[in-house]
Amino acid sequence: MRANAQAFLLLSVQLGLSAGQAQQQQQQQQQRPLAHSPHLIHNSPLQDHGLASQHQNGHGSSHVVVPSYRSSLLSLHRALVNIPSVTGSEHDAALLLRDVLIRQNYTVALQPILPASSSSSSSSQSTSDAGSPRRYNVLAWPAAASSSGSSNSSSSSRSSRHDADAPPTHLAHRILLTSHLDVVPPWRPYRINETAVPPSEEVDYASLARATRLGGRGSVDAKAAAAAQVVALGELLARGEVRRDEVALLFVVGEETDGVGMKTFSRSLSLSSFSSSSVSSSSSPAGGSASGKEKRIPLRAVIFGEPTTNLLACGHKGILLATLRAAGRAGHSGYPELSGARSATASLVRGLAALLDAQPALGSSERFGNTTVNVGTLRGGVAANVIAEQASAQVAVRIAVGDKDTGLALVRERMEAALRRVEGGQGLRLDGVMGYGPVECECFDTMVASYGTDVPNLDGDHVSYLYGPGSILVAHGEDEALTVGELEDSVEGYKRLVRHAAGY
């Protein structure tokens, strides 16, 4: 992305209403729990600063009713989507959010995600040993009320690197809104109603109809949730509907692959990870007891942002990730019966067929439905006229039986039993098995998801909610998109969830 385009994106987001500005400019109108009571405004935040375009750009019609936060919401969503952040390259998206949140009077800590080969002493470097930018979780909490309204407050004073030597005890008993910054490949640019919109092109957000579709990689999964959470919490703070010391934001990396971002944050809440002096100097309460249960900094509730079509998910299936490996004996393809060769690729095909045929026997439940098997990638052999010695396939199994702790072992045992029935299991094995069983979340009514999330990667006794805009059915596809209305409705949904979790 060109430097001037990046500057425009950052400027347009930062000039959106901050929590302090919104408090001064808010309309005197009661908000309903969901976004069905918007009011007409004549100037969007960008228009107030002289930046919003007055022409239509072919993206919508004028004189539409919009919520007061629309420009802040859509400009942040657009800025995030326009930054490529395929898993492993989330650095720029993290820094954008850091700058936006500091401007909105949050204290922000960047939590480094170190490569496995790096030592803790290198955590202060801005790049990894290989020269690539660092990956960061972005953790933010509202600044003290005394500094929240000060325009002279130094940005650097509200930004810090995560202190790996001290537990984040200030998070105790807070409500945490969280989503992830990474996306699946390939990156696709931001578009409005299927038309690509360059980062430098100005858009009159107030003119867009609620049915306008906003697309691009991450526009649904899960930069829509990230943008909506930032705006929702800003709204609640500006209106005094939650206290500054009871909420926080967290945006993590690596959710689409190994969950390393959330796992790193989860470890930071374990007091066993810190020296006794660091723990004893803490003034905040911690969970756990002397009975041997791990002592952790307790969170009150965690709201995970994922595409649930703005329905509150009651949980989601577990997952088993593994590589099915087949071993054979190489030989000439013209004389397999004479050379004693055995084809690994043929064995792999039969093993995969056995797993697919065994899906009904892998288990089902009333809440989560059927356990399903997906064959993701295939590798094997060296040439068409050589009997393959090695072959492998990566599989992802969505687990619908057992619970978070037992489901993985149940399904693995049944898969291995199915493989033993293929040529006596000769040369077939499951390798690198990892995952977890079905996860349940607090819910009112609505839906169960068939995809994995970061919910099981965050340990603790907190209440978990799973909620967000957009449909998972388009999340990883070339037509990934959601409507302006869906994005705005999710802001109201997050506000409702935070109020519910806080007991208001």
Which of 90, 235, 255, 442 is the catalytic position? 255
**pLDDT for the residue numbered 12:** 45
Using omega within 30 degrees of 0 as the cis cutoff, is the peptide bond preceding 438 cis?
A: no
The C-alpha atoms of residue 485 and residue 228 are separated, in whole angstroms, by 12
| pLDDT at residue 63 tops 80 | no
If pLDDT is split at 50, 70 and 90, which confidence band does 249 have?
A: very high
| pLDDT at residue 447 tops 90 | no
Ranking 103-112, 139-148, 326-335 by mean pLDDT, the lowest is 139-148
If pLDDT is split at 50, 70 and 90, which confidence band does 450 have?
A: confident
The C-alpha atoms of residue 237 and residue 246 are separated, in whole angstroms, by 10
The C-alpha atoms of residue 485 and residue 489 are separated, in whole angstroms, by 6
C-alpha 61: how far from chain center: 33
Q: What is the DSSP letter of 58?
A: T
Domains located in the chain, CATH noted: 9-115+131-315+440-502 (3.40.630.10), 318-437 (3.30.70.360)
Q: Is there a contact between 482 and 210 (Cβ–Cβ < 8 Å)?
A: no
Q: Is there a contact between 326 and 344 (Cβ–Cβ < 8 Å)?
A: yes
If pLDDT is split at 50, 70 and 90, which confidence band does 171 have?
A: very high
The C-alpha atoms of residue 84 and residue 90 are separated, in whole angstroms, by 8
| pLDDT at residue 310 tops 60 | yes
Q: Is there a contact between 204 and 467 (Cβ–Cβ < 8 Å)?
A: no
pTM: 0.68
| pLDDT at residue 457 tops 50 | yes
The C-alpha atoms of residue 19 and residue 150 are separated, in whole angstroms, by 12
If pLDDT is split at 50, 70 and 90, which confidence band does 244 have?
A: very high
The residues near 445 (Cβ < 8 Å, ≥ 6 apart) are 312, 314
**pLDDT for the residue numbered 285:** 52
**Among positive and negative, which fits the CA dihedral 455, 457, 461, 462?**
negative
The C-alpha atoms of residue 430 and residue 432 are separated, in whole angstroms, by 7
Q: What is the mean pLDDT of residues 3-19?
A: 43
Residue bearing the bigger pLDDT, 329 or 127: 329
The single-letter code of the amino acid at 362 is L
**pLDDT for the residue numbered 333:** 86
pLDDT in tens, 313-368: 878 899 999 999 999 999 888 877 776 788 999 999 999 999 999 999 999 998 88
Active site residue 255: yes
Provide the token pair at 446.
Answer: 């609505």
If pLDDT is split at 50, 70 and 90, which confidence band does 306 have?
A: very high
Q: What is the DSSP letter of 424?
A: G
Classify strands 191-192 and 213-215 as parallel, antiparallel or unpaired. Answer: antiparallel
Q: Is there a contact between 68 and 46 (Cβ–Cβ < 8 Å)?
A: no
The residues near 246 (Cβ < 8 Å, ≥ 6 apart) are 173, 174, 175, 300, 502
Ranking 79-93, 273-287, 358-372 by mean pLDDT, the lowest is 273-287
Residue bearing the bigger pLDDT, 388 or 66: 388
